[in-house]
Amino acid sequence: MNLESILLSENVIYSIYQNLDKLLQQIPELKLIINFNHKHPHHHLDVFNHTLLSLFQSPKDLTIRLALLFHDIGKPICFKEENGIRHYPSHGKYSSKIARQILIRLNYPFEYTDIICELIEKHDEPITKENIKENYDFCFILYQIQYCDALAHHPLKLDKRIKYLKETSNLLTNASLMR
């Protein structure tokens, strides 16, 4: 089974676990996030299981699922720890760079790789009204990635994220009506 088949299966988590050895041979960088503890109050899962939960929340769409698979892959190499809590400055950029190397190695087209990497790099950045005016389609996909990522965070720490998601959804809906 190839990466696309795994990611587009009906039960993506089951498919990943069924093909984990093969997946880790193709993408050894994923080993970095398995059992890597976030050590952060907004996360209740290790990075790999957080990634799986975000994939579980996602629509069956290759672009979204590729971005989600790699969105936090850079966390093990960029964290800073203060008082036992880890922070991940610029993890989107690190994750994007790693994803680019992987996608090129797996022979994804350069233009498609650029889109996936931009989504990964911006997955933690707020979507603004200006961003939506500039590129609605990109922002709509980015919103879906942010939504899936948010729902994979600690359930007791979601209030701020849910508020942001509702506001962004309203911005996207209003922009869509005006198109």
Domain spans, the chain:
3-177
Round to whole Å and give the CA distance between 123 and 72: 9
Q: For tokens 């299981």, what's the residue? A: 49
Query: Which pLDDT score, from 0 to 100, does residue 97 have?
Result: 98
Query: Which pLDDT score, from 0 to 100, does residue 72 have?
Result: 98
Ordered per-residue pLDDT tens for the chain, 179 residues: 899 999 999 999 999 999 999 999 999 999 999 999 999 999 999 999 999 999 999 999 999 999 999 999 999 999 999 999 999 999 999 999 999 999 999 999 999 999 999 999 999 999 999 999 999 999 999 999 999 999 999 999 999 999 999 999 999 999 998 87
Start-end of H helices in 27-135: 47-57, 62-70, 75-78, 91-105, 110-121, 129-134
Query: Which pLDDT score, from 0 to 100, does residue 155 have?
Result: 94
Give residue 128's identity as a one-letter amino acid code: T
Structure tokens at 17: 């676990």
Query: Which pLDDT score, from 0 to 100, does residue 76 have?
Result: 97
Query: Which pLDDT score, from 0 to 100, does residue 74 have?
Result: 98
146, 165 Cβ separation under 8 angstroms: yes
Query: Which pLDDT score, from 0 to 100, does residue 101 have?
Result: 98
